[in-house]
């Protein structure tokens, strides 16, 4: 590893498992101080062990607007400001369009889009010049996969937000970009009930012949967070083994 993020202060939402946890660990390896959010005490304890003295853990619900101010206040007290924000916390609720209820619709949009928007708003006074915002999107926003209508819509909203944020915040040195994973081997697939047969069917759709691993997405996020990507503004990096393009 190197020190591409030496001295940087970073926040990773949903940093207690999967892509978020791998990203937080990579940030520490690259020299950053890192704060992570999570909804469960057990996950936060494990993340604290990973991050060591460089880490801060914050218990918060990504879908509750008031919690976003709590996150911002905790980061301000610990770090004074931020150089990097990774919007990673999210939920995936997959079902046919006819089976959606309003409360479930609202929860998906609250966690995946509304909460992130108001977190970025709360963090604005803390953002350095320059600063990088990385939003975790998904190839589902592009490919029209059945049963992903609401999830895909929330991720498409994040991708649009990256463009408008860049247009609005770039004059003050803040750029926003998106990393869009395809199928990644994380606890997410287990949470949505995928068994071995379902995973095998999914892998059959991936030209690379396998699911990705969290660190492969984390490495793309490190690039977008670092000054190596200073000319990337409102852009998207797809990490999907060719699933959306071949």
Q: How far apart are CA 13 and CA 214, in angstroms?
A: 15
**Under 8 Å between Cβ of 10 and 84:** yes
Opening angle at CA 47, ends 12 and 137, nearest 5: 30
Taking the mean position of all CA atoms in its chain, how far away is CA 216? 13
**Under 8 Å between Cβ of 35 and 110:** no
3-state secondary structure of 175: strand
53 as an active site residue: the answer is no
- What sign has the CA pseudo-torsion 40, 135, 93, 98? positive
**Under 8 Å between Cβ of 241 and 181:** no
| Residue among 30, 140, 151, 236 flagged as catalytic | 151
User: What are the structure tokens assigned to 52, written together?
Assistant: 């060591």
Opening angle at CA 179, ends 150 and 124, nearest 5: 90
Catalytic residues: 151
């Amino acid at each position: 590893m190197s020190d591409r993020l030496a001295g940087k202060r970073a926040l990773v939402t949903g940093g207690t498992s999967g892509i978020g946890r791998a990203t937080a660990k990579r940030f520490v390896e690259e020299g950053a101080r890192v704060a992570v959010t999570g909804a469960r005490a057990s996950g936060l304890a494990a993340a604290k062990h990973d991050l060591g003295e460089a880490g801060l853990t914050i218990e918060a619900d990504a879908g509750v607007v008031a919690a976003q101010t709590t996150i911002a206040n905790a980061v301000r007290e610990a770090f004074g400001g931020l150089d990097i924000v990774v919007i990673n916390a999210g939920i995936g609720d997959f079902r046919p369009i006819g089976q959606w209820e309003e409360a479930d619709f609202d929860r998906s949009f609250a966690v995946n889009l509304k909460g992130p928007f108001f977190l970025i708003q709360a963090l604005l006074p803390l953002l350095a010049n320059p600063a990088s915002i990385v939003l975790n999107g998904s190839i589902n926003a592009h490919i029209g996969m059945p049963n992903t209508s609401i999830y895909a819509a929330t991720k498409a909203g994040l991708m649009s937000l990256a463009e408008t944020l860049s247009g609005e915040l770039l004059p003050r040195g803040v750029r926003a970009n998106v990393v869009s994973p395809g199928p990644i081997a994380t606890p997410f697939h287990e949470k949505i009930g995928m068994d071995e047969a379902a995973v095998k069917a999914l892998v059959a759709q991936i030209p690379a012949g396998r699911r990705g691993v969290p660190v492969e997405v984390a490495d793309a996020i490190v690039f977008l967070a670092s000054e190596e990507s200073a000319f990337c503004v409102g852009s998207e990096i797809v990490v999907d083994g060719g699933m959306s393009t071949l």
